[in-house]
Amino acid sequence: MKLASFINPENRQKTYGRIDADGIIDLGRRFSDSYADIPAALRAGALKQFEAVQGTPDFRFEQVTFFAGD
């Protein structure tokens, strides 16, 4: 599983997500109340939760701006 930090193109907020073959699933939208960012999610052992998220990607790769994180 690959995770990435990016700018949500709809609201211009920093978020994070899971990289899938067809795009990015916005995990920040789903889990930000529990995990502020990727490091917090990793410290809490959230990878199984992230893997369990189903559905089509929220964004295509060309829609987002990736960044290195905070």
The series of mean pLDDT values per 10 residues for the chain, 70 residues long, is: 96 96 96 95 97 96 88
Residue 70: predicted pLDDT: 60
Kind and range of the H or E run holding 59: none
Residue 68: predicted pLDDT: 86
DSSP state of 33: T
For residues 18 and 61, what is the distance between their CA atoms, to the nearest angstrom?
A: 11
Residue 19: predicted pLDDT: 97
For residues 60 and 70, what is the distance between their CA atoms, to the nearest angstrom?
A: 23
Residue 8: predicted pLDDT: 95
Q: What is the CA radius of gyration of the chain?
A: 11
Residue 7: predicted pLDDT: 96
* pLDDT tens profile 12-26: 999 999 999 999 999
